[in-house]
Amino acid sequence: MTLASGHDNDNDALPIRTDARAVGATLRAGETAEYPLGRDRRAYLVPATGAIRIDDVRVNARDGAAISDLDVIRITAIENSEIVLVDAA
């Protein structure tokens, strides 16, 4: 779910005046979600609860992951997790 966005097509999100987007998701253990980032963008991802895996990297609750140089972020929940991701140019 897009929480806040500066992108024109995110009509249900809180509007912000920058080329960025904040999204949140809830994943059950074993579920995988993908986010199309693009190699020219950067992201910061934090699991508020649970633990996730981004490729081969484990990220625990309240740990932050700075992400770059990926076309698509693949997030797999190790435990039931709530995540927040900020996508910025």
Which CATH number is 51's domain given?
2.60.120.10
Tell me the average pLDDT across 23-33.
97
Yes or no: say if 20 and 85 are a contact pair by the CB < 8 Å rule. no
Bridge partners (DSSP) of residue 33 are 75
Q: Does 39 reside within a domain?
A: yes
Q: What is the pTM of this model?
A: 0.85
Does the pLDDT of residue 4 top 90, yes or no? no
Q: Tokens 């910061």 correspond to what residue?
A: 44
Q: Does 3 reside within a domain?
A: no
Q: What is the pLDDT of residue 23?
A: 95
Q: Does 10 reside within a domain?
A: no
Tell me the average pLDDT across 77-86.
98
Domain with 50 in it: 23-88
Q: Does 7 reside within a domain?
A: no
Q: Does 51 reside within a domain?
A: yes
